[in-house]
Amino acid sequence: MSGVWPGSAFTRRDGELLVGGVGLRDLAERFGTPLHALDEEEVRRRCQAFRRAFPGADVAYAGKAFLCRAMAGWVAEEGLALDVCSAGELAVARAAGFPAGRILLHGNAKTPEDLHDALEYGVGRIVVDSFHEICRLATLRPASRLLVRVTPGVDGHTHAAMNTGVDGQKFGFPLSTGAAAEAVRRVLAQPGLTLGGLHCHLGSQITGAAAYEEAVRRMVALLAAVREEHGVTLDELDLGGGFGVAYRPGEPELDPETAGEAIGKTLRAACAEHRTPVPRLTIEPGRAIVARAGVTVYRVLGVKRGLVAVDGGMSDNPRPGLYGARYTARLVGRRTTCAEREVTVVGRHCEAGDVLARDVPLPADVRPGDLLAVPVTGAYHHAMASNYNLVRRPPVVGVGFGRARLLVRRETPEDLLLRDVG
Ligand X SMILES: Cc1ncc(COP(=O)(O)O)c(C=O)c1O
**Residue 236 and residue 115: Cα distance in Å, rounded?**
22
Q: Which does residue 319 bind out of ligand LYS, ligand X, none, counting CB within 5 to 8 angstroms by kind?
A: ligand LYS
Window 286-345: residues binding ligand X (CB under 6 A): 286-288
How many C-beta neighbours within 10 Å does residue 217 have?
17
CA distance 180 to 200: 11
> What is the closest distance, in whole angstroms, from the C-beta atom of residue 209 to ligand X in the complex?
14
Q: Which residues bind ligand LYS (CB under 6 A)?
A: 64, 162, 204-205, 319, 380, 384
- The half-sphere exposure of 142 on its side-chain side, counting CA atoms within 13 A, is 30
Residue list for the binding site for pyridoxal 5'-phosphate: 242, 284-287, 380
Range in contact with ligand X (rule: CB under 6 A) among 62-70, 189-197, 299-307, 335-343:
62-70
Q: Which residues touch 371 (CB under 8 Å, ≥6 apart)?
A: 24, 25, 28, 33, 297, 298, 299, 300, 331, 332, 333
Which residues inside 89-128 make contact with ligand X, applying CB under 6 A?
106
Instruction: Give the relative orientation of helices 112-121 and 131-140 as an angle to the nearest 10 degrees.
Output: 40
242 is a contact residue toward ligand X (CB under 6 A)? yes
Q: Please report whether residue 151 would count as binding ligand X according to CB under 6 A.
A: no
What is the size of the binding site for ligand X (CB under 6 A)? Answer: 17
Residue 206 is given by DSSP the state: B
Instruction: Pick between residue 204 and residue 315 the one whose CB is nearest to ligand LYS.
Output: 204
Contact 63, 103 (CB under 8 A): no
Query: Taking the complex as a whole, how short is the minimal distance between the CB of residue 384 and ligand LYS, in angstroms?
Result: 6
CB of 206 to ligand X, least distance (A): 7
Q: Beta strand pairing status for 10-11 and 58-62?
A: unpaired
Applying CB under 6 A, which part among 118-126, 241-249, 259-267, 303-311 lies near ligand X?
241-249
Stretch binding ligand X (CB under 6 A), from 59-67, 87-95, 178-186, 338-346: 59-67
Tell me which residue of 236, 235, 241 sits closest to 211, measured CA to CA.
241
Closest to ligand LYS by CB, 162 or 396: 162
CB of 158 to ligand LYS, least distance (A): 9
Asked if residues 126 and 144 have their Cβ atoms less than 8 Å apart, the reply is: yes
- The counts of H helices and E strands in the chain are 12, 21
Shortest CB 287 distance to ligand LYS, Å: 7
Q: Specify the residue, 288 or 300, whose C-beta has the smaller distance to ligand LYS.
A: 288
Q: Is 350 a catalytic residue?
A: yes
Q: Can residue 201 be called a binding residue for ligand X (CB under 6 A)? A: yes
Residue 83 binding target from ligand LYS, ligand X, none, CB below 5 to 8 Å by type:
ligand X
DSSP H helical segments within 54-101, as ranges? Answer: 69-77, 87-95
C-beta neighbour count of 390 within 10 angstroms: 11
Give the residue with the Cβ less far from ligand X, 102 or 287: 287
CA dihedral 44, 256, 61, 314 (to 10 degrees): -90
Catalytic (active-site) positions: 350
Residues near ligand X, by CB under 6 A: 62, 64-65, 83, 106, 162, 201, 204, 240-243, 284-288
